[in-house]
Amino acid sequence: METYSEDTRNILGLKLPTDPRWVNLAEIQLAEILTDHAYCEQKAATTCISLIQKNPEKEKLVEELSPIVTEEWGHFRMVLAELKKRKLPLGKQRKDVYVNKLLEFQKKGGSPTERFLDQMLIMALIEARSCERFKRLSENLDDSYMRKFYRKFMESEAGHYTLFITLAEHYMDKKTVRKRWAEWLAYEKDVMNSQELRGDRIH
């Protein structure tokens, strides 16, 4: 994978950090967090498969996302193994209020190029928020084993969210990507502000 440009790195940055109390709530509800995390990894893998299926003509996208599918599914299996080790069931998939709110901001009309850009940026945003949440867990959980567990995920997600913006820049004008990314970041801040603080979910 290519080295990320400074331009790409400079346009990243969530506008609202996670409330520190979220980690304390998550620690109390670790079984629910692990279940939600497992489904997040599963959905990330299937979404990448869908993007490949919808964009087979985009050679770079196919090449870059193919290993991400494998990696995300591997993450799903890691979380599944952790649940099994703790003798916990996978549990049921919940409605993802955060992602559904983001989907409301996606352009429904417009050109195929505009819709493709939003698909890339919503994935970048979900991965960025996941990375930020994993960082919180890796630094603030009382359990040292779980801190290390989430450190691995944090490092992986950091590369993922940058990749989606890099792909967008590959196929589109960088200024256009940057402008729309700023709009997404502002919208995501509002979404986070409007959400109830809950410890049973990653987002």
pLDDT digits (tens, 9 = 90+) for 10-50: 445 899 999 999 999 999 999 999 999 999 999 999 999 99
- Domain locations along the chain: 23-194
What share of the chain in percent tops pLDDT 90? 80
Tell me which architecture the domain covering 23-194 has in CATH: Up-down Bundle (1.20)
- Extract the tokens encoding 195: 């959400």
Look at residue 13 in the predicted model and tell me its pLDDT.
84
- pLDDT tens readout for residues 105-149: 998 888 999 999 999 999 999 999 999 999 999 999 999 999 999
What share of the chain in percent tops pLDDT 70? 94
3 has a pLDDT exceeding 50: no
Residue 2: band (very low, low, confident or very high) from pLDDT cuts 50, 70, 90: very low
